[in-house]
Structure 1
Amino acid sequence: MRRAGHAEWTKLRTDAGNVWLVLGVMVLTVAVGAGVAVTSRCDAAGCGGDPVRLCLTGVTAGQVAVAVVAVLTVGNEYGTGMMRTTLTAVPRRLTVLLAKAAVLTAVTLPAAAASVLGSLLVGRFVEPDRGFTPQHGYRALSLTDGPTLRAAAGSVLYLALVGLLSLGLAVAVRDSATAIGIVLALLFVFPVLARVVADPDWQRHLQQVAPMTAGLAVQATVGTDRLPIGPWQGLGVLALWAVAALAAGGRLLRSRDA
């Protein structure tokens, strides 16, 4: 496992494209979050806004770059035929998958943490000028506040889980374009379906099982009692999606030729 992990780390860091994609995760997350924070307003007490969730909106954009990094970790090897060399060097295929997952997570977590902290820092300076003040019932953003800390930590875990979900699907389908298409469909089609469906019960069920909608519930710090699913329970749903994808990818990796 140690040798496999070192090999995967070497492959990931020596690909310049991966470096730019990881930087893209941070830039997209902070930039989109800053844009939303700057354009949001709370003009009176009880305006109903969630300042933490607003400045973490960029996570929705950053997850796309995370998914691309994860998919290319596998897709590039299948595309070039290098996967045969990898599996020859490390015959235990689950070890290869676990090594890829470990290295991907080790790269994603610090990038996600930097992105989330940067977004919160921007929000702390910008949002008071947009009406999110003590006079309107909002304290300055701080990680010493329990809900804010939960939203921040949960967002970091969310991005890591999206990466693992994408990795599992890429191993299963073995094609980068197809895998990215499936990941984006899973993340973004469910919320669209929930809006289209007229039945409120079905809307709620779709929101409860959708990986993005459920997972991002962890960002909510206002009105959590009105969410279709609790913050940590929602992140648990995304974790189940990631585990299922990795399990399916691992099973197919073991049963098919490279």
Structure 2
Amino acid sequence: MRPALHAEWTKIRTVAGPLWLLLGTVAATVALSTVATSVVNCTANGCGGDTTKITLMGVYIGQAPVAILAVLVISSEYSSGMIRTTLTAVPRRATAFGAKAITLTGVVAVGGTAAVLGSVLAGRIVLPDLGDRALSLADGPTLRAVVGTVLYLILIALLSLGIAAAVRDSAASIGIVLGLLYLFPILSQTIGDPHWQRLLQQIAPMSAGLTIQATTDLRSLPIGPWAGLGVTAGWATGALLAGGLLLRRRDA
């Protein structure tokens, strides 16, 4: 496994694309979070709404570069034919795929942490009147939202990797991933039946996963924060299993 991990790390760090996508994740997340936080009206009695969730809103856009990065980790090798070289160097396909997943997890964890902490810092700067009471990692719900958001980005990356391994084509894989992320919330808003609307929110990878950001009114959520993140983990696990199985059974 160590040689495979070294090879995957070398691929990622020697190509400009992953770095730019990670920087795009950080920039998009912090920028949108700053804009969202700047329109919050605060008074002497505090700020209305879930300030922590608003501060982390940039992830709605920041997850897109993460998904694209994860897709390109494997689909670019299919398009260039380099996948044959990879599988020749690492004949055990499960090992090769696992190395990609582990390397991707580490890279996204670093980029995601920078993006999320940058958003929280921006929120504390924009809303100085909140003091240490909110947007502080010493606050349990805020810490859970921050850590959970980083885990969410990692899960989105793994979901995208699994889909790309199954589909192989970059454009099709990106379309499927972004469709899964953004179409479910749109569909839930167009359905008039509250039961079906709530069900879609409970099973959608983004709607369910991002409940981890909520710190207030948890009883009104369609699904609990950790349970929602578990739904996203289920999507990622299913995609990885499907992608890994097809990788092992199909010709390169």
Tell me the TM-score range normalised by the shorter chain.
Answer: over 0.9
Corresponding residue for residue 237 of structure 2: 243
Which amino acid letter does the alignment assign opposite residue 27 of structure 1? A
CA separation in 1, counterparts of 2:156 and 2:80?
25
Contact 1:51/1:127 (CA < 8 Å) preserved in 2?
no
Which amino acid letter does the alignment assign opposite residue 173 of structure 1? V
4+ residue segments displaced more than 3 Å: 42-48
- Which of 243, 246, 249 is the equivalent residue of 1:252? 246
TM-score for the superposition, normalised by structure 1: 0.94
Which amino acid letter does the alignment assign opposite residue 230 of structure 1? G
Deviations 1:170-194 (A, max 9, x none): 0000011000000000000110111
Which amino acid letter does the alignment assign opposite residue 159 of structure 1? L
TM-score for the superposition, normalised by structure 2: 0.96
Shift, 1:18, TM fit: 1.1
- Which of 137, 152, 169 is the equivalent residue of 1:158? 152
Corresponding residue for residue 193 of structure 1: 187
Shift, 1:102, TM fit: 0.3
Shift, 1:47, TM fit: 6.5
Shift, 1:83, TM fit: 0.3
- Which of 157, 173, 182 is the equivalent residue of 2:176? 182
Corresponding residue for residue 57 of structure 2: 57
**Is residue 37 of structure 1 aligned with residue 41 of structure 2?**
no
Deviations 1:118-137 (A, max 9, x none): 110111121246xxx48xxx
- Which of 214, 219, 223 is the equivalent residue of 1:229? 223
Shift, 1:140, TM fit: 3.2
Q: Percent identical across equivalent pairs? A: 60
Shift, 1:231, TM fit: 0.2
Give the root-mean-square deviation of aligned CA atoms.
Answer: 1.5
Corresponding residue for residue 124 of structure 1: 124
Evaluate the alpha carbon distance shift between residue 17 and residue 47 of structure 1 in structure 2; reply closer, same or farther with a 3 A threshold: closer
Give matches, 1:82-97, under 5 Å.
Answer: 82-97=82-97
CA separation in 2, counterparts of 1:17 and 1:115?
18
CA separation in 1, counterparts of 2:196 and 2:133?
36
Paired residues in the alignment total: 252
- Which of 200, 203, 206 is the equivalent residue of 1:209? 203
CA separation in 2, counterparts of 1:60 and 1:157?
14
CA separation in 2, counterparts of 1:47 and 1:55?
12
Contact 2:41/2:48 (CA < 8 Å) preserved in 1?
no
